[in-house]
Structure 1
């Protein structure tokens, strides 16, 4: 019988990761999670921005419907008038477009802006600027996450003929 020395015996190699390699992988995954997670977790800001864009579209559509009803009623050149929308609500108009008031917006959008947090949006009237500001209830009116509607005006400042400047709708989304 032949004896073999220990050197000539085949060695079983074990395959696997060392503890150092596992720690390095965990550290790399941790760095990726820290840098990528905030981008994916900031969904509320993206949702507020998308909702404001949708609301802006609703305001434009409703504003054009009110203007169409004003033209039919021949009130589109008047400084103040009222039209009735499909819900039966009266909308105060300025040169054929909705006035910059909470009541007008609630009527032509068929929504309710509550003073508490029960509504999704808040609305603030700025009478001196003939403007309303609409913003999500988790923000304040000065945040850059809002819609500003400035009502229509007469470019000729009351001298005939009336030259209507359409309302402006400015949407700010950088602060959402």
Structure 2
């Protein structure tokens, strides 16, 4: 029996992947794409929902600051008033229109106590609609419509007649459509 040396190997060596191996790799990549892709496709919606959550916290904090200043100024039982928060860069007073000591549901009030741009163009952070008759302000990301389920609803404070009992504003976060 003859043995071959290492230098004398036959020339039928395999130099690449077989078709079966390539198909298996493609199938595995397809399965990964189907299971992992949906998690990454909805990042915009998750980002908008997180932004709205942060804005909701800012609204609550600003609302409490305005209410505290309103109590100090003894305006907290008045149906409408203006609370001065301080001065701007030009030295002008920054006033927040209030309803029973809390910010009114208006663009003017929100621009005065929040550092967020509201407009109806693409450069704005958020859009808002303050046309509701019941004193509700709708704030939504600029890539959505006000009827989408991706918004903050701010319903301004109300009060009962007689001895004034103030019901604070309600802030409802809706993120099911983000």
Shorter-chain TM-score category? 0.7 to 0.9
Q: Count how many residue pairs are aligned between Structure 1 and Structure 2.
A: 167
Q: CA deviation at 1:15?
A: 9.8
Per the alignment, residue 46 of structure 2 pairs with 46
Per the alignment, residue 8 of structure 1 pairs with none
Q: Unpaired segments of 5 or more residues in structure 2?
A: 4-9
Aligned Cα RMSD in Å? 2.2
> Any idea what the Cα deviations from partners look like across 1:112-132, whole Å, max 9, x if unmatched?
312222201001013411010
The TM-score normalised by the length of structure 1 is: 0.86
1:147 and 2:148 matched: no
**Structure 2 SS opposite 1:48:** helix
**Structure 2 SS opposite 1:85:** strand
1:128 and 2:133 matched: yes
Per the alignment, residue 124 of structure 2 pairs with 119
Q: CA deviation at 1:41?
A: 3.0
Alignment of 1:85-104 (within 5 A): 85-86=85-86, 87=88, 88-104=93-109
Aligned partners of 1:19 and 1:139: how far apart in 2?
48
The TM-score normalised by the length of structure 2 is: 0.85
**Structure 2 SS opposite 1:112:** coil
Deviates more, 1:134-143 or 1:28-37: 28-37
1:137 and 2:142 matched: yes
